[in-house]
Chains A and B, each alone.
Chain A
Amino acid sequence: MTCEKCQKEQAALQEIILKHKGTPGALIPILHEAQNLYGYLPAEVLHEISKGLEMPEAEVYGVATFYSQFSLQKKGKYRINVCLGTACYVKGAQDVLDKFKLRLMIDVGECTDDGLFSLEACRCIGACGLAPVVTVNGEVYGRMTVDKVDEILDKYEALAASEKEAEEA
């Protein structure tokens, strides 16, 4: 696969590795930037990083899987994150999460077949005053209820449909 986009990404990845190589603790900033570039950390990217840093691939993999911030799975166009911090949990976040699972037919950490939604659960985004809280691509939805789950998903489905329409036209 040598599409133009792939080549550009490849060059950008090498640049990221070179920028940090040699400084102590370079791996994590590299993983951060690589994830920003690709949206997640595919196996080939971890391989490239290990080659670039001359570091065993197992060590790169170990760090990448240690931190919840890094994802080795592809994310959806809309990334749903349900806060399961204590304040949210006490106020019914589990019901909200279950509703997302039921409606999207995916589990936490998975992505819908159409690539539209991925579902994550996190531990406290620090907006406990609005509990329970859900974020979609960083946008915060507070005081969530099971009913609001449908509203949110309907909204993004409509958004995706209209974007697709505009693209085709």
Chain B
Amino acid sequence: MILENRKALNILRDQKHKEMALRLGEDFDPKDGGRMHILVCGVAGCHSAGSMGIYENLQKKIEENGLQSEIKLISTGCMGLCAQGPLMVTYPDEIMYTHVEPKDVEEIWNSHVMGGQPVERLFAAESDGTKIAHALKDHSFYSKQMKIALKNCGLIDPMDIEEYIGVEGYQALALCLNDMDPEDVIDTMKDAVLRGRGGAGFPLGIKWESAAREMAPVKYICCNADEGDPGAFMDRSILEGDPHSILEAMAIAGYACGAKQGYIYVRAEYPVAVERLGIAIKQAHEYGLLGKNEATALMASIEGKRGEPRPKPPRSTEKGLFDCPTVLNNVETFANVPQIILKGTDWFKGIGTEKSNGTKVFALGGKIENTGLVEVPMGTTLRDVVFEIGGGVPGHLAFKAAQTGGPSGGCITAEHLDTPLDFDSLTKLGTMMGSGGLIVMAEDSCMVDIAKFFLDFTVDESCGKCPPCRIGTKRMLDITKKITEGKGNMDDLDELEDLAQMIKTGALCGLGQSAPNPVVSTLQYFKDEYIAHVRDKKCPAGVCVSMLKYIIMAETCRKCGICAKNCPVGAISGDKNTPYVIDQDKCIKCGVCMSKCPFKSILKNA
């Protein structure tokens, strides 16, 4: 079906909107879209945890009972609270179920869908165990959030363009094409000061303006979906949960900058995102919303070369892909564009802080109760994100630090928990916003080990073109390895600092220049931990295995022999009459004995 003009788009929108009204908290007539919509999260963690089985069982129930016109079943994108997945939500009553298993469908169907009595035991739980029926409104994970980029994720069917159209999808593009000149679009984006959400925070409007200014027959719009920060998955979630918002934004960018072709670069680790983008592109084309030649290549390192940086200038807005002017924005940045066009710059500027407008999506991970995806106004404090929304550190452990900005960033310690999360405050603390990975570390995390981990990543990812990055980061990794193995000395700490400075000033691209940050930041805030490793040959957190010792407590050992049976290297000896002991020379410090001991008689000695 080709939508001939804006009127046709609006007719379809109004019709779909009526069908979706019960999901949007509006008055509805069951004749339009049925009496109940059941949404099952079909991606990421929930998918991995078996949400397909829930969907299939519900589908069977609906078919068996011939209720297709009354009850609509939808597989959605990410709903956010991944830690409690698989998730499902029913509308219009907005009941959220967590940890759902396929076998729970029977009870949900009988009690709730047919009987009107929600199943309390599956409600979302707060960290203190309280069950919350209307979690999307009332659970502390959701109540402080504000969604712009993730607005449609978990609410619409990402494989159905009509659902996107029903929630004002492609209206921003229509508005641009009909009522705005390309200059107006660029002025709007400049006025909104939408800063890039991929890491550097460069204003999107300025990028678009410089690309628009170039006189070139061919220009490109590129979307960076090569989410590289390990621990961040917001781009994946947007692509899987709301792919059309990206296509719409790229088309708007094309109009504003005078580009006719778009590319989306997706990581091979995200096959579902690739598949869904493919479907979305096909549908947008069928509905006449995208031209035939737009956005054709997926999953390719586009020019077919090794991905290596080159010196700037020229910037990519002058000479980018295939040497043509190119606009490159990341997924989350693009996802904001249609909303800004539709709701206006005053609305957008009213959210966030003075120099960081709008919201930011964070991927909460590590030692945190509510692992998942959250979107909050810029300037929300780290404390609110970790303790209110994230539910704090599990297992009564103390919060130690949060790492933002991934391998390019640094850590924020407990003393800075009240830092507002925005571009400039984070930079001031020696870390950065980055793409929004937020990894929480507790007292049992070793900061030297974390620094080593990030260096390992950088060494892997370094393209090898410039020596400061190729050799320098490798040297830094060697030194941190030495320290975690208990072979470091105090001079190593100075050398780390020297190397960091050299790499920062000498590397060719952002990856290299920012690679030393995790070391610099942990050295700044946790120098005592480095010193403990170097001078006392101790890992205070008990992580670095070379400095660990597993010891069987002779007094409490019940001589059951389970530890010896499970030891993979035969390092434990003893018998019914003599307490078991570990031969420290043979021990590989795997910790199996400690986890198997039924009497907790084995201790880890840092």
A interface with B by C-beta (< 8 Å): 24-29, 32, 62-63, 66-69, 84-87, 89-91, 95, 98-99, 102, 122-131, 133, 138, 140-142, 146-147
**Is B516 located at the chain interface by the 8 A CB criterion?**
no
Distance between Cα atoms of A5 and B367 in the complex (Å): 50
Distance between Cα atoms of A122 and B271 in the complex (Å): 15
A–B Cβ pairs within 8 angstroms, 6 of them = A85-B231, A86-B366, A126-B227, A127-B44, A128-B82, A146-B595
Mark each residue of chain B from 525 to 568: 1 if its CB lies under 8 Å from any CB of chain A, else 0. 00000000000000000000000000000000000000000001
Distance between Cα atoms of A95 and B568 in the complex (Å): 14
**Is B48 located at the chain interface by the 8 A CB criterion?**
yes
Task: Report yes or no: B568 in contact with A102, Cβ–Cβ below 8 A.
Answer: yes
Task: Report yes or no: A27 in contact with B304, Cβ–Cβ below 8 A.
Answer: yes
Mark each residue of chain B from 299 to 317: 1 if its CB lies under 8 Å from any CB of chain A, else 0. 1111111110000000000
Task: Report yes or no: A86 in contact with B365, Cβ–Cβ below 8 A.
Answer: yes
B interface with A by C-beta (< 8 Å): 44-45, 47-49, 82-83, 85, 227-233, 236-237, 268-271, 297, 299-307, 322, 363, 365-367, 371-372, 403, 406, 437, 439-441, 445, 450, 453-454, 457, 460-461, 463, 568, 588, 590-592, 595
Using A123-B461, A124-B227 as known contacts, list a sample of 7 further A-B pairs with CB atoms less than 8 Å apart, ordered by residue number in A: A24-B304, A25-B301, A29-B297, A84-B230, A85-B230, A87-B366, A129-B83
Task: Report yes or no: A146 in contact with B592, Cβ–Cβ below 8 A.
Answer: yes
Task: Report yes or no: A99 in contact with B48, Cβ–Cβ below 8 A.
Answer: no
Q: Count chain A CB atoms within 10 A of each CB in B237, B453, B461 and give the residue with the most.
A: B453
Please indicate the chain B residues that have their CB under 8 angstroms from the CB of A62 in the complex: 306
Task: Report yes or no: B45 in contact with A142, Cβ–Cβ below 8 A.
Answer: yes
Q: Count chain A CB atoms within 10 A of each CB in B229, B230, B303, B453 and give the residue with the most.
A: B230
Task: Report yes or no: A130 in contact with B590, Cβ–Cβ below 8 A.
Answer: no
Please indicate the chain A residues that have their CB under 8 angstroms from the CB of B371 in the complex: 87, 128-129, 131
- Shortest A157–chain B CB gap in Å is 17
Task: Report yes or no: B270 in contact with A90, Cβ–Cβ below 8 A.
Answer: no
Which chain A residue lies CB-closest to B439? A86
Please indicate the chain A residues that have their CB under 8 angstroms from the CB of B445 in the complex: 90
- Tell whether A128 pairs with B231 under 8 Å between CB atoms, given A24-B322, A86-B453: yes
Task: Report yes or no: B365 in contact with A128, Cβ–Cβ below 8 A.
Answer: yes
Cross-chain contact of A129 among B82, B230, B437, B463 (Cβ < 8 A): B82
Please indicate the chain B residues that have their CB under 8 angstroms from the CB of A87 in the complex: 230-231, 363, 365-366, 371, 437, 439
Task: Report yes or no: A90 in contact with B441, Cβ–Cβ below 8 A.
Answer: yes
Task: Report yes or no: A131 in contact with B365, Cβ–Cβ below 8 A.
Answer: yes
Task: Report yes or no: B230 in contact with A123, Cβ–Cβ below 8 A.
Answer: yes
Please indicate the chain B residues that have their CB under 8 angstroms from the CB of A133 in the complex: 48
Cross-chain contact of B45 among A26, A32, A123, A129 (Cβ < 8 A): A129
Task: Report yes or no: A126 in contact with B590, Cβ–Cβ below 8 A.
Answer: no
- Shortest A161–chain B CB gap in Å is 23
Which chain B residue lies CB-closest to A29? B300
Which chain B residue lies CB-closest to A139? B48
Cross-chain contact of B233 among A89, A91, A124, A147 (Cβ < 8 A): A124
Distance between Cα atoms of A122 and B460 in the complex (Å): 11
Which chain A residue lies CB-closest to B596? A147
Please indicate the chain A residues that have their CB under 8 angstroms from the CB of B457 in the complex: 123
Please indicate the chain B residues that have their CB under 8 angstroms from the CB of A127 in the complex: 44-45, 48, 82, 233
Cross-chain contact of B307 among A66, A91, A102, A141 (Cβ < 8 A): A66
Task: Report yes or no: B304 in contact with A123, Cβ–Cβ below 8 A.
Answer: no
- Tell whether A140 pairs with B48 under 8 Å between CB atoms, given A29-B300, A126-B227, A128-B365: yes
Task: Report yes or no: B590 in contact with A90, Cβ–Cβ below 8 A.
Answer: no
Task: Report yes or no: A126 in contact with B268, Cβ–Cβ below 8 A.
Answer: no
Q: Count chain B CB atoms within 10 A of each CB in A24, A62, A89, A128 and give the residue with the most.
A: A128
- Shortest A32–chain B CB gap in Å is 7
Please indicate the chain B residues that have their CB under 8 angstroms from the CB of A29 in the complex: 297, 300, 304
Cross-chain contact of A28 among B237, B301, B453 (Cβ < 8 A): B301
Cross-chain contact of B367 among A28, A91, A95 (Cβ < 8 A): A91
Which chain A residue lies CB-closest to B300? A28
Task: Report yes or no: A63 in contact with B230, Cβ–Cβ below 8 A.
Answer: no
Cross-chain contact of B439 among A90, A102, A146 (Cβ < 8 A): A90
Task: Report yes or no: A25 in contact with B297, Cβ–Cβ below 8 A.
Answer: yes
Task: Report yes or no: A67 in contact with B301, Cβ–Cβ below 8 A.
Answer: yes
Please indicate the chain A residues that have their CB under 8 angstroms from the CB of B301 in the complex: 25, 28, 63, 67
Please indicate the chain B residues that have their CB under 8 angstroms from the CB of A91 in the complex: 366-367
- Shortest A35–chain B CB gap in Å is 10
Task: Report yes or no: B595 in contact with A147, Cβ–Cβ below 8 A.
Answer: yes
Please indicate the chain B residues that have their CB under 8 angstroms from the CB of A28 in the complex: 300-301, 304
- Tell whether A142 pairs with B49 under 8 Å between CB atoms, given A25-B303, A129-B85: yes
- Shortest B55–chain A CB gap in Å is 16
- Shortest A166–chain B CB gap in Å is 26
Distance between Cα atoms of A128 and B82 in the complex (Å): 8
Task: Report yes or no: A130 in contact with B49, Cβ–Cβ below 8 A.
Answer: yes
Task: Report yes or no: A90 in contact with B366, Cβ–Cβ below 8 A.
Answer: yes
Cross-chain contact of B304 among A25, A84, A99, A131 (Cβ < 8 A): A25
- Shortest A131–chain B CB gap in Å is 6
- Shortest B596–chain A CB gap in Å is 9
Task: Report yes or no: B403 in contact with A122, Cβ–Cβ below 8 A.
Answer: no
Please indicate the chain B residues that have their CB under 8 angstroms from the CB of A123 in the complex: 228, 230, 457, 460-461
Please indicate the chain A residues that have their CB under 8 angstroms from the CB of B83 in the complex: 129
Task: Report yes or no: B233 in contact with A126, Cβ–Cβ below 8 A.
Answer: yes
Task: Report yes or no: A124 in contact with B297, Cβ–Cβ below 8 A.
Answer: no
Distance between Cα atoms of A123 and B536 in the complex (Å): 33
Task: Report yes or no: B463 in contact with A66, Cβ–Cβ below 8 A.
Answer: yes
Distance between Cα atoms of A140 and B44 in the complex (Å): 10
Cross-chain contact of B268 among A26, A27, A66, A69 (Cβ < 8 A): A69
Which chain B residue lies CB-closest to A130? B45
Cross-chain contact of B230 among A69, A86, A99, A102 (Cβ < 8 A): A86
Distance between Cα atoms of A122 and B456 in the complex (Å): 12
- Tell whether A126 pairs with B269 under 8 Å between CB atoms, given A63-B304, A87-B231, A146-B592: yes
Distance between Cα atoms of A27 and B40 in the complex (Å): 39
- Shortest B65–chain A CB gap in Å is 32
Distance between Cα atoms of A24 and B461 in the complex (Å): 25
